[in-house]
Amino acid sequence: MHILKAKTFNSKILDRTVRYDLVLPPNYTIEKQYPVLLMNDGQDYDKMDISHLLLKAWASNVKEFIFVGIHANKNRLSEYGTSQELDYLGRGKNALSYQLFVLNELLPLLGKVYNIRKEENVACGFSLGGLSAIDMTLENVHVFDRVGVFSGAFWWRSKPYGPYYNEATDRIIHQKFKKTVLKPTLSFWFQCGTDDEKADRNNNGIIDAIDDTLDLISILKEKGYKDVNYKEIKGGQHNHATWKKAFPDFLTWAFA
Protein backbone atom coordinates (compact mmCIF):
# COMPACT_ATOMS: atom_id res chain seq x y z
CA MET A 1 0.00 0.00 0.00
CA HIS A 2 1.38 3.38 -1.02
CA ILE A 3 0.06 6.40 0.90
CA LEU A 4 0.43 9.93 -0.45
CA LYS A 5 -0.65 12.25 2.36
CA ALA A 6 -1.61 15.93 2.17
CA LYS A 7 -1.11 16.48 -1.54
CA THR A 8 -2.26 19.87 -2.79
CA PHE A 9 -3.96 21.17 -5.89
CA ASN A 10 -4.61 24.80 -6.81
CA SER A 11 -8.20 24.81 -7.98
CA LYS A 12 -9.27 27.56 -10.35
CA ILE A 13 -12.91 26.55 -9.95
CA LEU A 14 -12.89 26.83 -6.15
CA ASP A 15 -10.28 29.59 -6.11
CA ARG A 16 -8.37 27.92 -3.30
CA THR A 17 -5.74 25.29 -2.60
CA VAL A 18 -7.31 21.89 -2.03
CA ARG A 19 -5.58 19.23 0.07
CA TYR A 20 -6.23 15.54 -0.45
CA ASP A 21 -4.85 12.16 0.58
CA LEU A 22 -4.38 9.34 -1.91
CA VAL A 23 -3.84 5.63 -1.20
CA LEU A 24 -2.86 3.06 -3.81
CA PRO A 25 -3.64 -0.63 -3.17
CA PRO A 26 -0.77 -3.01 -2.38
CA ASN A 27 -0.67 -4.60 -5.83
CA TYR A 28 -1.22 -1.43 -7.82
CA THR A 29 0.02 -1.57 -11.39
CA ILE A 30 -0.38 0.92 -14.24
CA GLU A 31 -1.43 -2.00 -16.44
CA LYS A 32 -4.77 -2.32 -14.64
CA GLN A 33 -7.73 0.02 -14.34
CA TYR A 34 -9.00 0.86 -10.86
CA PRO A 35 -12.22 2.40 -9.56
CA VAL A 36 -11.88 5.38 -7.23
CA LEU A 37 -13.37 5.73 -3.77
CA LEU A 38 -13.78 9.45 -3.25
CA MET A 39 -14.34 10.42 0.38
CA ASN A 40 -15.50 13.83 1.52
CA ASP A 41 -13.97 15.18 4.75
CA GLY A 42 -10.63 13.61 3.93
CA GLN A 43 -9.10 15.57 6.80
CA ASP A 44 -10.60 12.86 9.04
CA TYR A 45 -8.28 10.22 7.53
CA ASP A 46 -6.36 9.66 10.77
CA LYS A 47 -9.39 9.91 13.07
CA MET A 48 -11.05 7.20 10.99
CA ASP A 49 -7.84 5.10 10.91
CA ILE A 50 -8.38 4.76 7.15
CA SER A 51 -4.98 3.12 6.51
CA HIS A 52 -5.82 0.22 8.80
CA LEU A 53 -9.35 -0.16 7.43
CA LEU A 54 -8.15 -0.21 3.82
CA LEU A 55 -5.44 -2.78 4.52
CA LYS A 56 -7.90 -4.98 6.37
CA ALA A 57 -10.40 -4.73 3.53
CA TRP A 58 -7.86 -5.61 0.84
CA ALA A 59 -6.56 -8.51 2.94
CA SER A 60 -10.11 -9.93 2.97
CA ASN A 61 -10.19 -10.03 -0.85
CA VAL A 62 -12.15 -6.82 -1.35
CA LYS A 63 -11.62 -5.60 -4.92
CA GLU A 64 -8.72 -3.14 -5.14
CA PHE A 65 -9.43 0.55 -5.67
CA ILE A 66 -7.74 3.92 -5.35
CA PHE A 67 -8.72 5.92 -2.27
CA VAL A 68 -8.94 9.72 -2.50
CA GLY A 69 -9.87 11.72 0.60
CA ILE A 70 -10.58 15.40 -0.14
CA HIS A 71 -10.04 17.73 2.79
CA ALA A 72 -13.04 19.97 3.36
CA ASN A 73 -12.90 23.73 3.11
CA LYS A 74 -12.97 25.54 6.45
CA ASN A 75 -16.52 26.56 5.58
CA ARG A 76 -18.09 23.13 4.95
CA LEU A 77 -21.54 24.73 4.78
CA SER A 78 -20.49 26.52 1.61
CA GLU A 79 -19.03 23.70 -0.51
CA TYR A 80 -21.13 20.85 0.91
CA GLY A 81 -24.86 20.78 0.29
CA THR A 82 -27.09 20.32 -2.75
CA SER A 83 -25.78 21.69 -6.03
CA GLN A 84 -29.00 22.98 -7.57
CA GLU A 85 -30.70 24.51 -4.53
CA LEU A 86 -29.50 26.39 -1.46
CA ASP A 87 -30.97 25.66 1.92
CA TYR A 88 -33.30 28.16 3.59
CA LEU A 89 -30.33 30.08 5.05
CA GLY A 90 -28.55 30.30 1.70
CA ARG A 91 -25.99 27.64 2.58
CA GLY A 92 -24.34 25.47 -0.05
CA LYS A 93 -23.64 28.29 -2.52
CA ASN A 94 -20.42 26.62 -3.68
CA ALA A 95 -21.74 23.04 -3.76
CA LEU A 96 -21.95 23.04 -7.55
CA SER A 97 -18.44 24.47 -7.83
CA TYR A 98 -17.17 21.69 -5.55
CA GLN A 99 -18.66 19.05 -7.82
CA LEU A 100 -17.22 20.75 -10.90
CA PHE A 101 -13.82 20.75 -9.19
CA VAL A 102 -14.03 17.00 -8.61
CA LEU A 103 -15.24 16.22 -12.14
CA ASN A 104 -13.29 18.74 -14.20
CA GLU A 105 -10.08 19.24 -12.23
CA LEU A 106 -9.28 16.56 -9.67
CA LEU A 107 -10.29 13.35 -11.47
CA PRO A 108 -8.70 14.43 -14.78
CA LEU A 109 -5.50 15.31 -12.90
CA LEU A 110 -5.43 11.90 -11.22
CA GLY A 111 -6.24 10.22 -14.53
CA LYS A 112 -3.03 11.56 -16.05
CA VAL A 113 -0.96 9.78 -13.40
CA TYR A 114 -3.01 6.74 -12.40
CA ASN A 115 -5.02 4.28 -14.44
CA ILE A 116 -8.48 5.08 -13.07
CA ARG A 117 -11.88 4.21 -14.47
CA LYS A 118 -14.06 6.95 -15.88
CA GLU A 119 -17.19 5.35 -14.45
CA GLU A 120 -18.25 2.83 -11.81
CA ASN A 121 -16.63 4.88 -9.06
CA VAL A 122 -17.85 5.33 -5.50
CA ALA A 123 -18.49 8.45 -3.43
CA CYS A 124 -18.97 8.57 0.33
CA GLY A 125 -19.17 11.03 3.17
CA PHE A 126 -20.20 11.71 6.74
CA SER A 127 -23.03 13.99 7.86
CA LEU A 128 -23.01 17.05 5.57
CA GLY A 129 -20.25 15.39 3.54
CA GLY A 130 -22.64 12.49 3.03
CA LEU A 131 -25.31 14.83 1.68
CA SER A 132 -22.69 16.21 -0.71
CA ALA A 133 -21.66 12.69 -1.78
CA ILE A 134 -25.17 11.53 -2.64
CA ASP A 135 -25.97 14.76 -4.46
CA MET A 136 -22.75 14.48 -6.47
CA THR A 137 -23.63 10.89 -7.39
CA LEU A 138 -27.11 11.93 -8.46
CA GLU A 139 -25.74 14.73 -10.63
CA ASN A 140 -22.91 12.66 -12.15
CA VAL A 141 -24.20 9.15 -12.81
CA HIS A 142 -21.71 8.85 -15.69
CA VAL A 143 -18.89 8.88 -13.11
CA PHE A 144 -20.33 7.42 -9.88
CA ASP A 145 -22.62 4.42 -9.62
CA ARG A 146 -22.44 3.75 -5.86
CA VAL A 147 -22.61 6.00 -2.84
CA GLY A 148 -22.24 5.53 0.91
CA VAL A 149 -23.73 7.99 3.40
CA PHE A 150 -22.90 7.90 7.11
CA SER A 151 -25.31 9.87 9.35
CA GLY A 152 -26.43 11.89 6.34
CA ALA A 153 -27.54 15.50 6.83
CA PHE A 154 -30.85 14.85 5.08
CA TRP A 155 -32.53 17.52 7.19
CA TRP A 156 -31.21 20.02 4.58
CA ARG A 157 -34.36 21.98 3.89
CA SER A 158 -35.87 24.86 1.97
CA LYS A 159 -37.86 26.24 4.93
CA PRO A 160 -37.12 26.55 8.67
CA TYR A 161 -38.94 24.32 11.11
CA GLY A 162 -42.17 25.94 12.20
CA PRO A 163 -45.80 26.34 11.15
CA TYR A 164 -44.95 26.67 7.46
CA TYR A 165 -42.55 23.72 7.29
CA ASN A 166 -43.85 20.68 5.40
CA GLU A 167 -41.82 17.50 5.84
CA ALA A 168 -43.24 16.05 2.62
CA THR A 169 -42.09 18.92 0.40
CA ASP A 170 -39.35 20.92 2.12
CA ARG A 171 -36.50 18.43 2.51
CA ILE A 172 -34.37 19.27 -0.50
CA ILE A 173 -32.64 15.97 -1.27
CA HIS A 174 -35.89 14.01 -0.90
CA GLN A 175 -37.62 16.26 -3.41
CA LYS A 176 -34.67 16.06 -5.76
CA PHE A 177 -34.80 12.28 -5.84
CA LYS A 178 -38.57 12.30 -6.31
CA LYS A 179 -38.26 14.51 -9.39
CA THR A 180 -35.21 12.91 -11.00
CA VAL A 181 -35.11 10.07 -13.51
CA LEU A 182 -32.23 8.04 -12.11
CA LYS A 183 -29.68 5.67 -13.62
CA PRO A 184 -31.15 2.17 -13.15
CA THR A 185 -27.90 0.69 -11.84
CA LEU A 186 -27.26 3.19 -9.04
CA SER A 187 -26.62 1.57 -5.66
CA PHE A 188 -26.98 3.12 -2.21
CA TRP A 189 -25.63 2.39 1.28
CA PHE A 190 -26.80 4.27 4.37
CA GLN A 191 -25.79 4.19 8.03
CA CYS A 192 -27.38 5.77 11.08
CA GLY A 193 -26.86 5.44 14.83
CA THR A 194 -29.75 5.30 17.26
CA ASP A 195 -28.03 8.06 19.24
CA ASP A 196 -27.10 10.19 16.21
CA GLU A 197 -29.10 13.00 17.81
CA LYS A 198 -31.99 13.62 20.21
CA ALA A 199 -34.32 15.67 17.98
CA ASP A 200 -37.71 14.21 17.05
CA ARG A 201 -39.59 16.99 15.27
CA ASN A 202 -42.75 14.95 14.58
CA ASN A 203 -42.79 13.21 18.00
CA ASN A 204 -43.07 9.73 16.49
CA GLY A 205 -40.45 8.23 18.78
CA ILE A 206 -37.81 8.05 16.02
CA ILE A 207 -34.96 10.56 15.88
CA ASP A 208 -34.89 12.82 12.82
CA ALA A 209 -31.63 11.41 11.46
CA ILE A 210 -33.18 7.96 11.14
CA ASP A 211 -36.56 9.29 9.99
CA ASP A 212 -34.97 11.35 7.21
CA THR A 213 -32.82 8.44 6.06
CA LEU A 214 -35.65 5.89 6.06
CA ASP A 215 -37.89 8.32 4.18
CA LEU A 216 -35.24 8.71 1.48
CA ILE A 217 -34.83 4.93 1.29
CA SER A 218 -38.60 4.61 0.79
CA ILE A 219 -38.43 7.03 -2.13
CA LEU A 220 -35.62 5.04 -3.74
CA LYS A 221 -37.47 1.76 -3.34
CA GLU A 222 -40.65 3.28 -4.76
CA LYS A 223 -38.60 4.18 -7.83
CA GLY A 224 -37.63 0.54 -8.18
CA TYR A 225 -34.09 0.53 -6.84
CA LYS A 226 -33.08 -2.88 -5.49
CA ASP A 227 -29.57 -2.26 -4.17
CA VAL A 228 -30.48 0.03 -1.27
CA ASN A 229 -28.77 -0.93 1.97
CA TYR A 230 -29.25 0.36 5.49
CA LYS A 231 -27.13 -0.26 8.58
CA GLU A 232 -28.42 0.98 11.93
CA ILE A 233 -26.00 0.85 14.85
CA LYS A 234 -27.62 0.59 18.27
CA GLY A 235 -26.07 3.23 20.50
CA GLY A 236 -24.18 4.66 17.52
CA GLN A 237 -23.48 8.38 17.70
CA HIS A 238 -22.72 11.21 15.30
CA ASN A 239 -18.97 10.72 15.54
CA HIS A 240 -15.88 9.12 14.04
CA ALA A 241 -15.95 6.14 16.42
CA THR A 242 -19.33 5.04 15.08
CA TRP A 243 -18.48 5.72 11.44
CA LYS A 244 -15.20 3.84 11.81
CA LYS A 245 -17.14 0.86 13.12
CA ALA A 246 -19.43 0.91 10.07
CA PHE A 247 -16.76 1.62 7.44
CA PRO A 248 -15.60 -2.01 6.90
CA ASP A 249 -19.15 -3.10 6.04
CA PHE A 250 -19.40 -0.23 3.59
CA LEU A 251 -16.12 -1.19 1.89
CA THR A 252 -17.23 -4.80 1.58
CA TRP A 253 -20.52 -3.69 0.02
CA ALA A 254 -18.90 -1.19 -2.33
CA PHE A 255 -16.07 -3.39 -3.59
CA ALA A 256 -17.23 -6.97 -3.02
pLDDT in tens, 166-203: 988 999 999 999 998 877 789 999 999 999 999 999 89
DSSP one-letter string for 82-145: -TT---TT---TTHHHHHHHIIIIIHHHHHHHS-B-SSSEEEEEETHHHHHHHHHHHH-TTTEE
Asked if 220 and 177 touch (Cβ cutoff 8 Å), the reply is: yes
- pTM assigned to the model: 0.96
Distances (CA, A) of 218 to 134, 153, 178, 223, 230: 15, 17, 10, 9, 11
Single-letter amino acid code for the residue at 174: H
Distant-in-sequence, close-in-space partners of 30: CB < 8 Å, separation ≥ 6:
114, 115
Q: Check which CATH number belongs to the domain holding 72 and give it.
A: 3.40.50.1820
Residues spanned by the domain of 203: 2-254
Torsions phi, psi of 229, nearest 5?
Answer: -115, 145
The answer to whether 141 touches 186, Cβ cutoff 8 Å, is yes
Question: Across the beta sheet with 66-70, what order do the strands follow?
Answer: 2-11, 16-24, 66-70, 36-39, 121-126, 144-150, 187-195, 228-237
pLDDT for position 172: 97
First-residue to last-residue Cα distance in the chain: 19
Specify the pLDDT at position 165. Answer: 92
Residue numbers in the chain where pLDDT is lower than 70: none
Closest CA to 150 of 60, 79, 225, 253: 253
CA distance linking residue 87 with residue 225, whole number of Å: 27
Q: Which amino acid is at 200?
A: D
Q: What CA–CA distance (Å, rounded) separates 28 from 188? A: 27
pLDDT of the residue at 185: 84
Apex 252 CA angle, 250 and 256, nearest 5: 135
Most distant pair of Cα atoms in the chain: their distance: 59
Number of folded domains that form the chain = 1
What does residue 25 show for φ and ψ, rounded to 5 degrees? Answer: -65, 160
